[in-house]
Amino acid sequence: MATISMFGITHFHRQNPYLVAWWSAAYPGFGHYLLNQYVRATILTLIEVTINTLAHINESIVYTFCGNFEKAASVLRPEWVFGYLMIYFFAIGDSFRSTLMQNKLCHLAELENNPICSVHLHPLEIQYLEQKNPFLALWYSIMFPGLGQLYNHQFVLAFYAIFWWWFYLIMSHVYESAFYMITGNLQQAISVLNIHWLLFLPSIVGGATYHAFIIVIEHNRLYRMEQRRYLAERYGNNESQLFPSGGLINC
C-alpha cells in the first residue's frame, strides 16, 4: 500500500482518472506526480518548460484568445510544435490509463492490509507518517508553491518547485506588474509582463496546491488505516471477558 524512504512516503491511492488526466493537460507531468511517479513526472515537467519555450506555445495561446489568429500561427515554431503535441497528449493518455490501473492495485493492497512502516530513520533525514491539516497545505501552497510539499515532508519535490517558482516569478515580472497596478499605472502594469512565462503561473499554483491538498488527505487515510491494523494486531486477541460471570444468565 505504501512505502517510506528518505524522500517521503510513496503510496497507492484511488483517484478520479479524469481529474488526473486534467492535471496532465494543465501541465504535463502533474498527473504523474499525483500517481506518485516522481522521476518521470519531473522529466515531463522539464520537457514541458523547455519545448514550450522553444515552440512559443504560450504566446500562441495568448494571441488565440485575443483573437489575433494570424500572429498566433506565425509565432509557433513548427520544428518543435509537432513533437510537443505528441508528448503532451501521451502524458494525458498515459496518466489516465495509469490511474485506472493504480486504482485496481490500490483495491488489492487495501484487501491485503499489510503493515505500513510509518517511521524511517536515515542518517540525513527522518520521515514519518502523521496526521495533517489539508487546509494548511493549501494555504502554504497558495502563498508559495512548493511549501505545501515541504509540509508533506516531500523535500526534494518541494525544493524543485520552490526553485522553479522563483524562476517563473522573476521571468514573468508578475510582482512588478502587481506593484504598478496598485499604484494605478495600468499601462506599465501590462507592458512589464512577459507573456510566455506569465502563462505558466496558473498551472503551477493550481497543480502544486491540488497536489499538496490531495497528499495530505491520503497521508491521513494511510495513518488511520495503519493505526487500525496495528491496534487490531496488538489488542485484538484479548481473552478478558467483559462479563466474567457469564453476563445475562446471572442477572
Partner 1 sequence: MLIVGAFEHSVELEQALAVLEHMGFPQKSILVVPMDTDPEMGNQYIAKSRDRYYKAFEVGMAGATACSVIGMSIGFVLKLGPVFWGLVFAFFAFWIGFIVYLHFNKDNSRHLPKKLPEITVIVQTSKEKSETVMETFWMYRALVVGHVTGQER
Binding site for partner 1 (CB under 8 A): 19, 22-23, 26, 61-62, 64-67, 110, 130-131, 134, 174, 177-178, 181, 186, 189-190, 193, 195, 198-199, 201-203, 205-207, 209-210, 213-214, 217, 221, 223-225, 227-228, 230-232, 234-236, 238-240, 242, 244-245
Choose between 87 and 195: whose C-beta lies nearer to partner 1: 195
Choose between 125 and 130: whose C-beta lies nearer to partner 1: 130
Cell numbers found for residue 237: 486477541
In whole angstroms, the minimum distance from the beta carbon of 63 to partner 1 comes to 8
Instruction: Look up residue 9 and give its DSSP letter.
Output: E
Length of the chain equals 251
Task: State CA 103 to chain mean position distance.
Answer: 17
Choose between 99 and 123: whose C-beta lies nearer to partner 1: 99
In whole angstroms, the minimum distance from the beta carbon of 79 to partner 1 comes to 24
In whole angstroms, the minimum distance from the beta carbon of 96 to partner 1 comes to 14
Instruction: Look up residue 68 and give its DSSP letter.
Output: -
- Our CA angle for 18, 20, 22, nearest 5°, is 70
35 closest CA partner among 103, 89, 127? 103
In whole angstroms, the minimum distance from the beta carbon of 235 to partner 1 comes to 4
3-state SS assignment for residue 35: coil
Strand partners, 2: 11
